[in-house]
Amino acid sequence: MTSRLPKLVAFDLDYTLWDLWIDTHVDPPLRRMGDAVNDVRDRHDQRIAFYRDVPEILHRLREGSVTIAACSRTSAPDLARRALSLLLVPPPAGHKGEAPTPAISFFDEKEIYPGSKIKHFKELHRKTGLPYSEMLFFDDEHRNREVESLGVTFCLVPSGVDDRLFERGLAEWRKRHPVEVAEDAAGNDDVGNTESA
């Protein structure tokens, strides 16, 4: 049986993908020691790393041909982009011989600048042409639930994205779109992205 994925999954950065505020806890310059995987350091040796399950989630979305977006209202957008450029994501499970991938290459869209998440999602809609109903957003701040007024499915992240929370977000999105999921379960190929359950 297959389960359809949203066409776009967006993530906030701070306390959603990594456990810090990039604009207050990190002091440039940033550096990576050689090919260290999922480990970037700042001037004071503060570690920047994705939460444990994030790399596999990114690989899973990429394999499902889902558009991945970063949506952050940080006041340090250049530093956030630099961290994403330096962070190396390990290869997916079962592909140990492959080289790690710069995290930034997983993100098809990057809306990283101060302001309302409504603005971020309007830009995503404009750039991708995807309907809001095909978007799922993970964020640690309850106030950003405002994107639901556009039709985006919002999933609150109380303590970092992990597999269980990711699945909960997908389940909520599927619950809101039962017709599309039912069509997909019946084998309709033109419904959207699929993945093996």
Q: Where are the alpha helices (DSSP H) in the chain?
A: 54-63, 77-86, 117-128, 163-176, 178-185
CA–CA separation, 188 and 108 (whole Å): 26
Please report, for residues 17, 50, 56, the alpha-carbon distance to residue 103 in angstroms, rounded to integers and kept in the order given: 11, 9, 12
Cite the active site residues. 12, 14
What is the sign of the dihedral through the CA atoms of 124, 86, 73 and 174?
Answer: positive
CB within 8 Å of 128: residues ≥ 6 apart: 8, 67, 109
CA–CA separation, 21 and 107 (whole Å): 19
**CB-based burial label for 72 (10 Å; 0-12, 13-18, 19+):** buried
CA–CA separation, 4 and 47 (whole Å): 35
